[in-house]
Amino acid sequence: MQKLKVSASEADSVLQSVMPIDLVNRGSALFYTNHLDEDDNDNLLDLHLLLVGLLDALQPGTRLICRDGFFGPTWDESRQSAPTRKALFQTLLADVLPPLLHQVLDERAFKIDHQDDFMPFHKLVKEYETTQVVTLPFVFAAQCLLESILAVQGPPSDAVTVASVGAYATDAMRRVLQHLQTFKESPGELFSPPHTKRNLNVTVAWLGNTLRIATTYPGFTENEVARAWLNPWMAGQHVLMTTMTLGLDTGIFLLDDIGQGRLVLHLYNALRIRDHVAPVPVLDMLADLFEQGKSVWAGSRPNAPGGFLKAHLLAWGYEAKDAPVVAASSRNQAGEVDAKTAHRDSKDRRSKFQKAHAKMQRKGRTLNVTEPEHLSRAYRLATYMEAPVMRNEKLPSMRDLQRTMDAEWDRYLHLDFGAIGLLFREIWTHLVRTLGFSGVGPQCPQFDPDWRETQENNQIHNENLCLQTLLFYCDEDPASPKLAVAAEVLASYATRLETDVLVAPA
């Protein structure tokens, strides 16, 4: 990477070319907008002209270097707070933009879903550099960044400062990265499907790369890097991205990656209706929350005996016409699963090689998926999937978004869905061991095409079929001693499901 070197006289000529205010532009719609007062309009116009002039200095393969005071006073939070946004122009143009202008053109960088929605400044900076056009969204975004610094700045003695906000965002990303690494290395005693590993690998790689860039970016000073990626506005975007995408999106996936979420919530719902288990607030909340999704309650949530097993079969991928038939046939199978399987295996004359490479027939439909937008209005608002409530029919009501985010955080966004998924895996394994299921069952389960021919996949699906007999007992035989055992297992995890261990690391 080359450094752009200019003489003092050349720098002064650039400064003189970008600093004067074009009086003609003061008659533009930007100057006369009725959303801002005159001082704000002046700030926007001045910044717009500086950004236009800055384009002349941008050269491929180079980085911007500006002397102190080139665009205005040099700001140092530890010494003195900036009085106005205009007093931060030097910080924006000399410290914040140079690293971003270099990084956004890095072809090695990759994005994850909705990254531009949660972190829009990167996209705007790239458009600015590639199109050589200063758009109004970019100018307003830059003003928002400066406003965030004005709102948060303060002496080191303050509890909240620009430096402390940046440090918090860095710590949050490190905690989440370590947390995701734990999920990769300790999925529980059940095997992880390939798609779980792939998703975690992508997520860990993205977060690790983001953290490296935000803390040590080659060719730039620590101060420049911190101001570029960890100023209050960008730090907030990092935390929002971590909470909504890595926490909620990845968390929903980890909660039910092998079907453990569906099994536990269906069983808990059935045992509660049969009055076999005391209320567990987290499970009640999750059962209610996932009624908004499509994976756990594929049809509708059963509220009376007779539909427990059918509802789980629908959630597991059975067609609506087949689920009642399979559920009815369970009346004759509930106590004979192991015996029938052993008899069938004794008649199987295939070699071990043939059994290992047999093609399983997949019956049923594709499993429904719960996306974060199904559960969270805040997610829909942040990603523009839902139109915001307007203020005075002109601007979005940010208070409405804040109230929505606060309410969802208090209810469920603070939870660690991934850790809950690991606990659900433990409950699954505990039930299998306690009830003595052998992990084998009837053929023709619903298979995931990614690994449906593997022994591990067969184990998970066959154990699921065995555990489904508990739902049959909830439908037909509520006095079964197996239900008392299952209720005791669920109750033994109630305390762990309510502890602070399940609070998301971000």
Average pLDDT on 185-200 reads: 74
Residue 294 has pLDDT above 80, yes or no: yes
Half-sphere exposure of 32 (CA within 13 A, CB side): 6
Indicate the DSSP class of residue 444.
Answer: -
Mean pLDDT of 411-419: 90
Q: In the predicted model, what is the mean pLDDT of the chain? A: 79
Q: 367 vs 43, 65, 256, 312, 372, CA distance in Å? A: 53, 54, 12, 12, 16
| Residue 443 pLDDT exceeds 60 | no
Note the pLDDT tens digit of each residue in 11-58. Answer: 455 444 444 333 334 333 344 344 444 455 457 788 888 888 888 877
Distance CA 443, CA 475 (A): 23
- pLDDT tens for 215-224 read 888 888 888 8
**Joined tokens for residue 211:** 């953290």
pLDDT, position 23 = 33
Q: How confident is the model at residue 235 (pLDDT cuts 50, 70, 90)?
A: very high
In the prediction, which pLDDT does 320 show? 63
Tell me the C-alpha distance between 36 and 43, whole Å. Answer: 10
> Taking residues 93-122, what's their average pLDDT?
84
Does the pLDDT value for residue 440 go beyond 80?
no
- pLDDT for the residue 34: 41
Torsion sign (Cα): 122, 236, 33, 54: negative
Label residue 181 by pLDDT band (50, 70, 90).
confident
CA separation for the pair 155, 158 (Å, rounded): 6
Percent of the chain's residues with pLDDT above 90: 27
Q: Is the pLDDT of residue 150 over 80?
A: yes
pLDDT in tens, 315-349: 887 766 666 656 655 555 544 544 555 566 666 66
Model confidence at 185, pLDDT cuts 50, 70, 90, reads confident
Please check whether residue 467 is in contact with residue 431, taking contact to mean a CB–CB distance below 8 angstroms: yes
Assess contact for 213 and 103: CB atoms under 8 A. Answer: yes
408 membership: H or E segment, kind and range: helix 398-408
Average pLDDT of the residues in 249-274: 92
User: Cα–Cα distance between 429 and 423 in angstroms, integer?
Assistant: 10
Q: Taking the domains of the chain in order of start, what are their residue ranges?
A: 2-253, 256-373+412-502
β-bridge partners, 415 = 503
pLDDT the model gives residue 28: 39
Give the global pTM: 0.77
pLDDT at 224: 86
pLDDT value for 328 = 59
Percent of the chain topping pLDDT 70: 75
Q: Which residues contact 290 (CB under 8 A, 6 or more apart)?
A: 261, 265, 296, 297, 370, 375
Amino acid letter for position 199: N
- DSSP per-residue codes, 84-120: SSGGGHHIIIIIIHHHHHHHTT-TT----TTHHHHSH
Position 503 scores a pLDDT of 75
Treating both helix axes as pointing N-terminal to C-terminal, what angle do 194-215 and 162-185 enclose, rounded to 10 degrees? 150
CA 402, distance to chain mean position in Å, is 18
Residue with token string 């209005």: 377
Residue with tokens 């200019």: 6
